Amino acid sequence: MIVAVIDSGVADHSDLSGSVLPGKDFTDPAGSGRTDIDGHGTAMAGEIAAHGRDESGALGIAPDAKILPVRVLTRGKFKGDLGSAVSWAVAHGAKVINISLGGGITSNMFTALKAAEEANVVVVASAGNLPDDRRITAPAFVPSVLAVGAVDRGGNRDAISTTGSALDLMAPGTDIMSLGLNNGYKAATGTSDSSAIVAGAAALIRSKYPELSAREVVDRLESTAVDKGAPGVDPEYGHGVVDIIAALSVGTSATTDQPSANPSTGANNPPAGSSPFATSRAVAPTTRSMGSSSLLFGSATVLAILGGLAAFLILRRRRSRSD
């Protein structure tokens, strides 16, 4: 399963060895998307598809996925057209596209997203972070895009996560540990991480149920989400908090016969001066002991939300001291 990460590029990391395809660099004609001086894109790729190494390292949500890096950012600054990046990703085989960034909207972006929808591609984007983003940002507010907000350790909306009628789904976004530059690791909080987690979930569903359309994949994620806030779809939680186990386990009829009762149709106007990164604050790593393993998500709600699929989350496995 090919997942395009439209971001700041993806740097070399042993936990992604063999999982990153040659991509496209819209900031440098000579590049291939394999350069990342910011680290944001590498972190998103890790949350989606890190596969660890030996008895250490990290595991992403969909460790068998292939990452297609599409670089449109340098140090938080757009230098490439997002619409062109989406079009390129679709043309080069992406079945899921993650866009953990936000900004302005162009006619080219609308055209590209429409083409992605017609090409049966799931597009996931971060909803945006307060206070930089005052409402659901572009491209997340586009109806065909799955807009994802962040929940905290208690499974409640993180204060950083924007709200609005275009919000579709929530996922863990507080103290998320992922890959860093120079073969390292880092933690951050924001809807960028939530988006990457949901993109990984979409990749898992598309791998298990290849016959499902992109719309059916989204419906499956929405209809199996854990309802939070006001009953039903609401501007604070959308359809609710993602439940990957339920989305993977329920029969195919859950999507074809029981689609989400209220698919996203909202489209807010993009805010002026939106920040390009949805992750706007870094945090110190928090380790939760799990026997010989350590869950680096720092978000206790992950286990409740994702159940047994915690084994696929970002884990750092350590040999016991007796080895």
- Asked if residue 168 lies in contact with residue 137, where contact means CB atoms within 8 angstroms, the answer is no
Q: For 124-148, what is each residue's pLDDT tens digit?
A: 999 999 999 989 999 999 999 999 9
pLDDT band at 278; cut points 50, 70, 90: very low
pTM over the 0.85 mark:
no
Strand intervals (E) in the chain: 2-7, 24-25, 51-53, 56-59, 66-71, 96-99, 122-126, 146-151, 169-172, 176-179, 185-190, 279-283, 288-290, 293-295, 315-317
Q: Counting every residue, how long is the chain? A: 323
Residue-range domains of the chain with CATH? 2-316 (3.40.50.200)
User: Residue 3's closest CA among 127, 75, 117, 92?
Assistant: 92
Q: Is 192 a catalytic residue?
A: yes
Candidate list 100, 192, 194, 299, residue with the active-site label: 192
222: Cβ–Cβ under 8 A, 6 or more apart, which residues? 168, 169, 238, 239, 240, 260, 263
Q: Is 13 a catalytic residue?
A: no
Q: Which is higher by pLDDT, 256 or 295?
A: 256
Candidate list 7, 36, 152, 168, residue with the active-site label: 7
Candidate list 13, 40, 51, 239, residue with the active-site label: 40
Query: What percentage of residues in the chain have a pLDDT greater than 90?
Result: 71
Q: Which residues pair with 56 in a beta bridge?
A: 53
Q: Is 40 a catalytic residue?
A: yes
